[in-house]
Amino acid sequence: MMEFLEVDQVHKNFGGIPALQGVSLKVEKGKIHGVIGPNGAGKTTMFNVINGVYGPDEGAVIFEERDITRFKINKIASLGIGRTFQVARIFNEMTLMENMMVPLIPRRVSKKAGEKKALELLEMAELIHLKDQLGVEISGGQKKLLEFMRTMMADPELVLLDEPFAGVNPALIERLIEITFELNRTRGKTFLLISHDIPSVMKLCKNLTVLSAGTTIAEGESEKIRHDPAVIDAYLGH
Ligand code: ATP
């Protein structure tokens, strides 16, 4: 059992106020792993530490047996960690196709190969008919799908999805779930996703990590976690 990503006892303060006070997590390669926990638990801060937005005050992040704790964002991305945001960060004044091509700008990929890849991903997301529309013209849920597909253009092995289902209509949630399964099954991609949508998390994730008040309070198989009294008390019961 190879540990693909490990977050080890990470602490992070903001102006003396602790956001993370000993968060740990282990993700296996090829898994779809969920992160749940109440508002303010530190979930997004943990993502920011993993992908290099912040360096932690203490603790370590290990990816493929390499200590990436103090690496910069671009370096971490180039090692194969992709990420989406709670509110999709797409370019409103660019077409969907142009948005898709952005991650390829610093890479040596031919325009033709890049376009082929972009079209495949837009097809998978059922956004292909919108490829020439501007970002501003699509719905919030479609923006999230587009951001997800744009992240895949860089071919990350590990994808961090921050609240992929929040503010997304049920039909698009189903599509997001299917796409995640497909990328996992057919391309072996590993996912770590934060979500408050417990039914979707239970569908997608065999393993869960539960954060509360900046610490990891439980980790393991989703079915066991959902019946863990500490988890129910901290989160699921409310
Ligand atoms: P939610 O489910 O509401 O998105 P979360 O679990 O993702 O919450 P975080 O966003 O990581 O929680 O926030 C954890 C704590 O850290 C909160 O108290 C938050 O206010 C604080 N925090 C996060 N980022 C910053 C920052 N840049 N500066 C100051 N405080 C911050």
- Give yes or no for residue 238 having a pLDDT over 60: no
- Residue 46: its pLDDT value, please? 97
Q: Report the distance separating Cα 181 and Cα 183, nearest Å.
A: 6
Mean pLDDT of 132-138: 95
What's the pLDDT at 1?
56
Q: State which ligand 1 atom lies nearest to the alpha carbon of 45.
A: 11
N-term to C-term CA, the chain: 34
Is it the case that residue 30 has pLDDT exceeding 70?
A: yes
Residue 135 has pLDDT above 90, yes or no: yes
pLDDT at 84 over 90: yes
Tell me how far apart the alpha carbons of residues 128 and 121 are, in angstroms, rounded to a whole number.
8
Task: Report the pLDDT value the prediction gives residue 24, as an integer from 0 to 100.
Answer: 97
Closest residue by Cα to atom 10, ligand 1, is 44
pLDDT at 226: 85
Can you read off the two tokens belonging to residue 168? 């997304």
Instruction: Report whether residue 135 contacts ligand 1, using a CB cutoff of 6 Å.
Output: no
Element (H, E) at 81: strand 81-83
Q: How confident is the model at residue 53 (pLDDT cuts 50, 70, 90)?
A: very high
Expressed in angstroms and rounded, the spacing between residue 172 Cα and the centre of ligand 1 is: 27
Residue from 194, 100, 188 nearest 148 by CA: 100
Task: Note the pTM of the prediction, 2 decimals.
Answer: 0.93
User: Distance (Å, rounded) from C-alpha 16 to C-alpha 14?
Assistant: 5
Q: Specify the ligand 1 atom closest to the Cα of 14.
A: 29
Our answer on whether the CB atom of 110 is closer than 6 Å to any ligand 1 atom is no
By three-state DSSP, how is residue 70 classified? coil
pLDDT reading at 16 higher than 90: no
Predicted local distance difference test score (pLDDT) of residue 12: 97
pLDDT tier, 236 (very low <50, low <70, confident <90, very high otherwise): low
Predicted confidence (pLDDT) at residue 2 exceeds the cutoff of 90 = no
The mean predicted confidence, pLDDT, of the chain is 93
